[in-house]
Amino acid sequence: MIRGLHPSFRDVLARGGLVKVAGAHNALGAVLAERAGFHAVWSSSFEVSAARCLPDASLLTMTDYLEAAVHMQRAVGVPVVADCDSGFGNELNFAHLVHEYEASGITAVCVEDKLFPKMNSFVGEGQRLVDAEVFGRRIAVAKQAQRGEDFLVIARTEAFIAGLGLEEALRRCHTYADAGADAVLVHSKQSTEVEVAAFLARWARDVPVAVVPTTYPAWHAEDAHRAGAAIVIYANQGLRAQVLALRHTFGEIVRAGHTAGVESDIATLDDIFTLQGLEAWRKLSR
């Protein structure tokens, strides 16, 4: 059955301890993340775009991303954090996205300080950022636009991605915190956690920090927490696992001409029925 009821992301953060978040692009992935024990689901713009075989380059609209996030939130009892790229435009767009996401039951959004249209953080060099003060005003407008106290806005800086260094990353996040951001996300594409750990060592604000260890996968979640991170987001591992599994399974079927050799490696139909909540739905027609 559709879940419907869930704590806000603010509630989850208030419980204390490290908050672990898994990326997904549809309701099934969100349910699997919840059942694995994650505290929240990241509605990843990268995953949502990739699921439609499109690059993560502001090609999809806010409506596309909102629809995906809502499908996930309706299916799980943990909060969904919506990745809203660079906010889809200016201050007016920030206000509009807050109105729409909040009204749809999403309790947290994340916006990044890149120029619109954005390009995925791990593609190429020379990422262009919005002026920090301009982005700060957009964060302030987003906070003014929300209607309830539970809604949470995460401000993400791409300063490290753009090669601007630690001082600029700190300056930007201080500006966003001063503007009202409820949390900040500091992103890095280095192969170790050194940049992010240096940021955490200097962060003195009472504002939670999220990290995304995509390119530094050896950093243990508890080590990140001890370093000062409140949120760890595994933003795309589920999609990447799915691609590898499908490539292997489909290739083996074509090679062998039957499915006998892969049946032990794939879910049973009963497993899928359980994830669908089929029995609860069947009871409605009895």
Rounded to 10 deg, the angle between the 27-36 and 269-276 helix axes is 90
pLDDT recorded at residue 249: 98
- Asked if pLDDT for residue 154 goes beyond 80, the answer is yes
What is this structure's pTM? 0.96
Q: Structural domains in the chain?
A: 9-235 (3.20.20.60), 245-283 (no CATH)
**Residue 1 pLDDT grade (very low, low, confident, very high; cuts 50, 70, 90):** very low
Over the stretch 40-69, which tens digit does the pLDDT of each residue have? Answer: 999 999 999 999 999 999 999 999 999 999
User: Is residue 174 classed exposed, middle or buried when 0-12, 13-18 and 19+ CB atoms within 10 A define those classes?
Assistant: middle
State the catalytic residue, choosing from 56, 83, 85, 182.
56
Q: How many whole angstroms separate alpha carbon 53 and alpha carbon 65?
A: 14
pLDDT recorded at residue 286: 78
- Asked if pLDDT for residue 224 goes beyond 90, the answer is yes
pLDDT recorded at residue 220: 98
Mean pLDDT (whole number) for 258-270: 97
Nearest to 51 by CA among 31, 76, 27, 26: 26
Mean pLDDT (whole number) for 212-226: 98
Over the stretch 65-106, which tens digit does the pLDDT of each residue have? Answer: 999 999 999 999 999 999 999 999 999 999 999 999 999 999
Catalytic residue list contains 265: no
Contact 38, 21 (CB under 8 A): yes
- Asked if pLDDT for residue 250 goes beyond 50, the answer is yes
Q: Phi and psi of 109, rounded to 5°?
A: -130, 155
- Asked if pLDDT for residue 273 goes beyond 70, the answer is yes
Mean pLDDT (whole number) for 96-118: 97
pLDDT recorded at residue 127: 86
Exposure string of 267-284, with b = 16+ CB inside 10 Å and e = fewer, is eeeeeeeeeeeeeeeeee
pLDDT recorded at residue 3: 58
Mean pLDDT (whole number) for 279-284: 93
Residue 98 Cα distances to 4, 145, 184, 231, 274, angstroms: 20, 6, 17, 21, 34
- Asked if pLDDT for residue 2 goes beyond 60, the answer is no
- Whole-number mean pLDDT of the chain? 96
Could you tell me which residues come within 8 angstroms of residue 58 by beta carbon, excluding any fewer than 6 positions away?
85, 86, 88, 116, 117, 118
pLDDT recorded at residue 81: 98
Mean pLDDT (whole number) for 3-13: 87
Mean pLDDT (whole number) for 150-166: 97
